[in-house]
Chain A
Amino acid sequence: DAGVIQSPRHEVTEMGQEVTLRCKPISGHNSLFWYRQTMMRGLELLIYFNNNVPIDDSGMPEDRFSAKMPNASFSTLKIQPSEPRDSAVYFCASRRPQGYGYTFGSGTRLTVV
C-alpha cells in the first residue's frame, strides 16, 4: 500500500497563475478530503467527497478554488488565479467507510509570490 499520494510536493508560482494540486487516495477508500494548514488557522477542511461526489464544500474559501474527483483514484484541487494568501500546505486524506480512521498524504507546500 503506497498510502495517499500527493503531487507536487512543493510548488512555487507567481500571483495570478493557475495552480493544480493532485491526489491519489488509497485503493478501496471511498472518502477523500482536502485540508489546508497555515500557522494562523491550523488545519482547515476545504472540501470532501464520498464515492466521488462532493458532500461539503463550505470550507472552500472563494470561487477561485475548485475541486474535482472524476474517479475513485484521482482528485484535483485547483486555484485560479492564485494569490499570496493562498500560500499554505495542502493535505489530501482518504478513509474507508465503517468507522475507520483517516490516512493523510505528505502534503503540497504551495508558495505564491
Chain B
Amino acid sequence: KQEVTQIPAALSVPEGENLVLNCSFTDSAIYNLQWFRQDPGKGLTSLLLIQSSQREQTSGRLNASLDKSSGRSTLYIAASQPGDSATYLCAGIEGDNQGGKLIFGQGTELSVKP
C-alpha cells in the first residue's frame, strides 16, 4: 500500500530564507507527483506537477524534484515571504495516466515570519 510521508510536519523560518520541504513515498510505482498549497479553511491549489518522464519542475520561486529510485521528492522555496505561509501537501499519483488515484502526505505547515 502506497504511503506518502512529509518531513517536517511544521516549519517556521524568517522571511528571506531558502527552504526545502521533503516528501517520501514507499512504492516506486508512483506515476506522477503533484505539490499543492492549502491556506487555512481553503481548498487545494496546485503548485507543480512532475510527470513520469520528468525529474523536476520550476515555477517562479518554487522548484520541485522527483527521484523515483529513492522514493523522494523535494519542494524548494527560494527567498521565502510571509505570503508563503500555508500547508504544503505532496501527493503521488498511482496507476497510469488514464486516471490513477492521488495519495496524499500529511502536509508541512509552513510559517514565514516577517
Contact = CB atoms under 8 A, between A and B. Distances in A.
A7 interface: no
A50 B98 contact: yes
A102 B51 contact: no
A95 B91 CA distance: 14
Interface string A78-113: 000000000000010101011111111111000000
The 5 tightest CB contacts between A and B, nearest first, are A31-B99, A101-B49, A99-B97, A43-B104, A50-B99
27 contacts: A30-B99, A31-B98, A31-B99, A42-B107, A43-B104, A45-B102, A50-B99, A55-B99, A93-B44, A93-B102, A95-B99, A97-B97, A97-B98, A97-B99, A98-B98, A99-B31, A99-B51, A100-B49, A101-B32, A101-B34, A101-B46, A102-B46, A102-B91, A103-B46, A104-B36, A104-B46, A106-B43
Contacts of A102: 34, 46, 91, 93, 102
Contacts of A33: 101-102
Interface of B: 31-32, 34, 36, 42-46, 49, 51-52, 89, 91, 93, 97-99, 101-107
A72 to B, nearest CB: 13
A91 B46 CA distance: 14
Contacts of B52: 99
A106 B99 contact: no
A97 B97 CA distance: 6
A76 to B, nearest CB: 19
B104 A42 contact: yes
